[in-house]
Amino acid sequence: MLSYDEATNENVVSRQLVIEILNKPIHPIKKEMRSAFRTTKDVDGYTELVWRMAQNSKRIHTGLFYVSSDYSPRYDMVLGREATKQLGT
């Protein structure tokens, strides 16, 4: 499930999706990164993703996604304010 969170600029992806489906590496959050972000989600690590929306499959997006601490939260991905602006939502 894709969600939007206009209260933050950060994108978040579920740990389960990253490990089981995407098979992407999860990098530790560096000290300087942790002090620069503000999210309501509990995160532990980050990954880089290339993604697109089904209704506009020609437009490709890339970006940093913080990885949830919970293995299986109630969401798959949460897009922050900046990503939603890029999508025009």
In the chain, the domains with their CATH numbers are 2-87 (2.40.70.10)
C-alpha distance from residue 17 to each of 22, 49, 51 (Å): 6, 12, 13
Written as six digits, the tokens of 59 are 């437009």
Residues 65/47, Cβ–Cβ less than 8 Å: yes
The better pLDDT of the pair 80, 41 is held by 80
- 23-58 tens-digit pLDDT: 999 999 877 666 566 666 788 899 999 887 777 667
Q: Is the pLDDT of residue 61 over 90?
A: no
Rounded to two decimals, the pTM is 0.81
Q: Which helix (H) or strand (E) holds 31?
A: helix 31-36
